[in-house]
Amino acid sequence: MRDIIINQPLDMHLHLRDNDMLKLVAPFSAKSFSGGLIMPNLSTPITNKQMLMSYKNRVLEAIDGNNFEPYMTLFYQNYDTKFLKDIQNDITAIKLYPAGITTNSKQGVSNFDIKELEPTLSVMSELDIPLCVHGETDGFVMDRESQFMDIYEQLATNFPKLNIIMEHITTKDATKIVQKYDNLYATITAHHLLITLDDVAGGFLDPHLFCKPIAKRYEDKEALVKLATSGNKKVMFGSDSAPHPTHKKECCGCAAGVFTAPIALQLLCELFIKDEQNINLQEQNLQKFLSSNAVDIYGLTPPNKTITLREKNYKVAVDYKNTTHTITPMYGGKTIKWSII
């Protein structure tokens, strides 16, 4: 058996939802990670300080005593200077959603005219507040991310002092753009490193692998894996773990989101650790992807936590439930090759 030790693992794109769902899912992330970047797209998006601090307190109550730092984000709107100066020490980033493109994003941005975005983004640049972006248009579903690349380039060139994080990239095009500009960075999920559209809909439809942005082609997955496992400082792990009740996944009108929080570290270990000859380099690159890169990009000081993974079979639970919700994880009921010990 082989052990891999990860120090201060971070999940830099995490959906914890709220209320009873929050209480069910938060402990999974809090046990495995030192911290997580908490997404603000609740049913009523987080748009002011009172909402932000109230939600943070609910997250802290839900993590069940684990040593875990919730790095909070604000839902992008055209905020003024006074507001941003008042809230800057309470947030780690601001998250921009195109209007209606994913869960709870109807209040997002509908016009990407740089002149309209400039007042807020200029102040964010001055205050060193990073911008996280769900980068999709409303075009054909397989092309939505690629069609957004021009907008990323406009943002990067017009706001060179603004750190911009391309969230959950899924395409070969995105792996190239992120390396083209000094102020562009990216998160990559575990599921986009492991699956293609064939896994979602190539045979029987698997609703628990359906997400937005949708999984793409084999060449896209290969480009993502190459970038993530290379140790490149521009990319970091963001699970985009997005729980929905099982009955909202296994139905007509399936909700988009893959719940990976209980197995994300194990899946990444299996992906990165391939052979004994390069074990030290593989472990170093996994540490960069899971922690060091995010620490440098965001300027974080995560809580001390060490997670040990062992090359030992682990049977994924069929589902997880409390008195209100039942949720089904990615690979529910299947066996994976690594365990947290």
Model pLDDT for residues 67-109, shown as the tens digit of each residue: 999 999 999 999 999 999 999 999 999 999 999 999 999 999 9
Q: What is the mean pLDDT of the chain?
A: 97
Residue spans of the chain under pLDDT 70: none
Instruction: Find out whether 44 and 272 touch, Cβ atoms under 8 Å.
Output: no
Determine the Cα–Cα distance for residues 330 and 333; give it in Å rounded to an integer: 9
What kind and span of H or E run contains 185?
strand 184-188
Cis geometry, peptide bond prior to residue 130 (ω within 30 degrees of 0): no
Residues 322-339 pLDDT 10s: 999 999 999 999 999 999
73, 96, 182, 221, 287 from 225: Cα distances, Å: 27, 25, 21, 6, 15
Could you tell me the pTM of the whole model?
A: 0.97
* Catalytic, out of 11, 173, 220, 240: 240
Q: Give CATH for domain 3-340.
A: 3.20.20.140
pLDDT at 315: 98
What is the tally of helices (H) and strands (E) in the chain?
A: 14, 15
Contacts of 252 (CB under 8 A, 6+ apart): none
Active site residue 240: yes
Residue-wise pLDDT for 242-273, tens only, equals: 999 999 999 999 999 999 999 999 999 999 99
Residue 276 has a pLDDT of 76
| Residue pair 165/132 in contact by the 8 Å Cβ criterion | yes
Q: Where are the domains of the chain?
A: 3-340
